[in-house]
Amino acid sequence: MTYKLIALDLDGTLNNDQKVITPKTREALIKAQQQGAIVVLASGWPKAGVFWENQAHYLL
């Protein structure tokens, strides 16, 4: 199956219990993007927090 869009919540979905994106998860998301998928960070966090999370992990 080919996914066009992957939407992820941050806490407990994208981030683990230590609030860290594991290398395995990060690599999988980057690979999905390279294959054309759009990765969306969906969260109740303020916009600045989501932007920082994205930049800190170079996801998008």
DSSP codes of every residue in 1-51: ---SEEEE-TBTTTB-TTS---HHHHHHHHHHHHTTPEEEE--SS-HHHHH
- Digit-coded pLDDT (tens) for 13-46: 777 888 778 889 889 988 998 999 998 877 776 6
Cβ contact 40:8 at 8 Å: yes
Cβ contact 8:41 at 8 Å: yes
Question: In the prediction, which pLDDT does 44 show?
Answer: 73
- For the whole model, what pTM was predicted? 0.67
Per-domain residue ranges of the chain:
5-57
